[in-house]
Chains A and B, each alone.
Chain A
Amino acid sequence: MSKGRAKENRPGLLRASLNPWLVRVEDHPERLAFVLHRVTGVIIIAYLLLHIIVTNTPARAGWEAWDQLMEQFGTNIVNQVGEFIVAGSVLFHGMNGIRLLLAEFFGVCIGRPEKPKPPYIPPTYRACQRQLLYLIFAVWPILWVFAGLLIFGVF
């Protein structure tokens, strides 16, 4: 045991919840999903606050000011990249949110409790929430690319 001040029994906010690159995800994709849910949530709330201010423009300065603003946003690559990141965040957060609602709120896709026996794999990890998570990881990049094609004006 180390001398002096005892260490807190937590790994630190950054490692625990905000940085997906610091997470060990071997055999625990739920852990990666948890961190990505937080990271995308922080991105979305930052965007939401800006969005509420920006969408107030026509109420303050009229629709001409709005059109000028949208013209600037539509031609600025930095804004487009920002929108692309927000789109990916919303897509992951939304799909993983549906999985969490099913598992935590409606109590489905989490398996049944059972007597623990080797190799001690919790029923939750063998339940359909895991398949849903794999499906999310598979569908998410496809939808994100589709959103990117829209945002960058490919179609």
Chain B
Amino acid sequence: MGASRIQMWQYITAILLIVFLGGHLVERLPWLVGAESYHDTLRSSFVSKQYGSWWSIGLLILAYTALFHGLNGVRGILHEWKPRLGTLWDAIIWAVFIVFALIATYTVAALW
């Protein structure tokens, strides 16, 4: 994938993150979800409902886009740091992406 195309994906994932991360963070506002405090919104009684609904697909999209956006940013920094190791950086970043995407997929699938 060309550098400019990856940068386009960086912007596209940024737009997706505004939507999905925004939704994810709104769930932590206690008065919007009927909880007593921020920490109450993290209890299983609240969180399990989110995993058991269609929003879990949103959480999965959020995980993929956040991983791509974040790891691609790290990849850029690594390429600037040691440009000669570009292929190695790409391989490491893709490996980390796949491993953590699999963990996120397993989490959502198991709690569906």
Which residues of A line the B interface, CB within 8 A? 13, 16-18, 38, 41-42, 44-45, 48-49, 52-53, 55-56, 58-59, 63-64, 66-67, 70, 73-74, 90, 94, 97-98, 100-101, 104-105, 150-151, 153, 155
Contacts and interface: CB of A to CB of B under 8 A. Distances in A.
Contact of B111 (A48, A58, A153): A58
A11 to B, nearest CB: 11
A105 B11 contact: yes
Nearest to A153: B37
B2 to A, nearest CB: 17
Nearest to A62: B44
A74 B39 contact: yes
Given A52-B107, A63-B44, 12 more contacts: A18-B77, A58-B44, A58-B51, A58-B107, A59-B106, A70-B43, A97-B14, A97-B17, A101-B11, A101-B14, A153-B37, A155-B37
Given A38-B77, A59-B106, A67-B44, A151 B38 contact: yes
B91 interface: no
Interface of B: 11, 14-15, 17-18, 21, 25, 28-30, 37-39, 42-44, 47-48, 51, 63, 66-67, 70-71, 73-74, 77, 80-81, 96, 100, 103-104, 106-107, 110-111
A42 B74 contact: yes
A80 to B, nearest CB: 9
Given A13-B80, A98-B18, A63 B103 contact: no
B106 A56 contact: yes
A70 to B, nearest CB: 5
22 contacts: A13-B80, A17-B77, A18-B77, A41-B73, A41-B74, A52-B67, A56-B106, A56-B107, A58-B51, A58-B111, A59-B111, A63-B44, A63-B48, A66-B44, A66-B47, A97-B18, A98-B18, A101-B14, A101-B15, A150-B37, A153-B39, A155-B37
Most chain A CB atoms below 10 A, which of B18, B30, B44: B44
Chain B interface SS verdict (over half): helix
B18 A94 contact: yes
Given A45-B73, A48-B66, A70 B106 contact: no
Given A153-B37, A153-B38, A52 B63 contact: yes
Contact of B71 (A16, A45, A59, A105): A45
A19 B73 CA distance: 16
A104 B15 CA distance: 13
